[in-house]
Amino acid sequence: MTELLSPISATLAPYLACQRWYIAYSGGLDSHVLLHLAWRLRQEALRAGKPFPELCAIHVNHQLQADSPHWAAHCTSTCNEYGIAIDVRAVSIEGRRQGVESLARAARYKVFEDIVDERSVLLIAHHQDDQAETFLLRLMRGAGAAGLAAMPVSRPLGRATLFRPLLNMARSQLEAYAAEHCLEFIDDPSNRDPHYRRNFLRHRVMPVLAEVWPAYRHSIARAAELQAETNNLLSAYLSTDVTTISDADGSLDLKALMKFDALRQRAVLRHYVLQHLGIRLDKAQSEELVGQFLHSSPDSQPVFELNNGMTIRAFRGRLSCERDPVGYVFDRGLVQDWDGQQVCLIRGLGRLSAEAGGKFLPRGKMTVRFRSGGERCRIAGHEHSRPLKKLLQEWDVPPWKRDVLPLIYCDDEIAAIADIAVCEGFQAGAGETGLSLRWLLSR
């Protein structure tokens, strides 16, 4: 008898406090086994009079097969039989043959992020064979420790958590369980197409490995765990480096970075970009960054563009990562009322907020505007007004940020420049409670 319920019950115990368990349900063997196990756990809890999270399934129809509508209907019928709510979403996949897998995955996870909230967990039926395939695929791409860590048991998913409760189980265990419980599941013919690299590994490479190393799945899973430990330790060291040579605004001191050896420079740059943009640079990109930013003249302003409008820039020896402000689409002639109590959202750009305890004391009707040219203001404590353009230059505000800084007006007078400075006449005095402003660009 294949008994998976007890180990799965222990594995999922930390998530019993969640409001909902969402199950990524394709209708195939793996996800059907997971759905059935979750259903059995709920049945046990109901019989014992214990509370249990609401069970929900998500089926993503990629519309890549002629039978896709029938698969969606099968999943709906199965969930209805188990009394599990199901959300069926159709997505469109466009791309070349070799890119279909990654495009489908991206579309699928976008659906998951849209549905699963912070009170819930998404359960995915990846197992030990999937882990071995992922490890080998990334090895063939020349991945480092982060890539060879393969799939984590859990990770953040938008506002929620993604959890893989079957990751330490072999596919053969799931097959035996499905046979024992007479589960009817979908057999996607594309899973047998060797043109897809994962299928090539599954059907051509893994059987050969098993002939010599029968326990290769466990060995690869252990190697992935060690790579994950190595990557976590390295990340901790690199985070310390990044923090040490970063300013309060998050920019990186290139002069300080130059003191590191070449290997450490590349590693710190990769980690810095990962922290700020969520993008992993490859070796070639890391080397190009070093060449552009560490070996350029002090007066140059190099730019390194990444995908999704993300940009790496340098200005006066400081490196910063951000969405390219050129890509922000917002009303530059905006005049938006603001009471200082609610967050002021600038559509397409960012958010301005305020909290008690700062130096800014508004007087009169507040509006938020942006530079149009020729503005002058007198900074609190200074004797004369000066052109805003000159002030921004003296404050070393990078040129690409100057036009996206909100100006806070009181009536028709500039009272504050984003969260950088307060103007004369609008600073809190002794015994007065002012506001602390915060400006945050969207990413």
pLDDT tens-place string over residues 230-239:
999 999 999 9
Summarize the annotated binding site for ATP as residue ranges.
Answer: 26-31
Tell me, what's the pLDDT at 292? 84
pLDDT tens string 96-135: 544 777 888 889 999 999 999 999 999 999 999 999 999 9
> Predicted confidence band at 323 (pLDDT cuts at 50, 70, 90)?
low
Domains, the chain, in order of start with CATH, read 5-224 (3.40.50.620), 246-323 (1.20.59.20), 336-441 (no CATH)
Q: Which residue has the tokens 């507040």?
A: 366
pLDDT tens digits, one per residue of 335-361: 899 999 899 988 878 899 999 989 999
Percent of the chain with pLDDT over 70: 95
Percentage of residues in the chain having pLDDT higher than 90: 66
Higher model confidence: residue 192 or residue 185?
A: 185
Q: What integer pLDDT is reported at residue 329 of this predicted model?
A: 66
Give pLDDT, residue 98. 47
| Per-residue confidence (pLDDT) for residue 81, from 0 to 100 | 96
pLDDT of residue 40: 97
**What band does 290 get if pLDDT is binned at 50, 70 and 90?**
confident
Q: What does the pLDDT look like over 13-48, one tens digit per residue? A: 999 999 999 999 999 999 999 999 999 999 999 999
CA gap 121, 154 in Å, rounded? 10
Tokens, residue 7: 């180990």
Q: Indicate the pLDDT class of residue 284, thresholds 50, 70 and 90.
A: confident
pLDDT tens digits for range 204-213:
999 999 999 9
Question: What is the rounded (10 degree) CA torsion for 274, 279, 280, 281?
Answer: -100
Chain centroid, CA 132 distance in Å: 24
Q: What is the pLDDT of residue 187?
A: 87
Say whether pLDDT at 440 is over 50: yes
Angstrom distance (rounded) from CA 154 to CA 183: 27
Going by pLDDT thresholds of 50, 70 and 90, the confidence category of residue 192 is: confident
Average of pLDDT values for 372-377?
Answer: 90
- Give the pairing type, strands 336-337 and 366-369: antiparallel
pLDDT at 443 over 70: no
Q: Which residue has the higher pLDDT, 259 or 398?
A: 259
For residues 31 and 191, the model is more confident at 31
Contact 203, 133 (CB under 8 A): no
Q: Are 49 and 85 in contact (CB under 8 A)?
A: no
- What is the reported pTM? 0.76
Quick: pLDDT tens for 54-95: 999 999 999 888 889 999 999 999 999 999 999 999 998 876
Binding-site members are 26-31
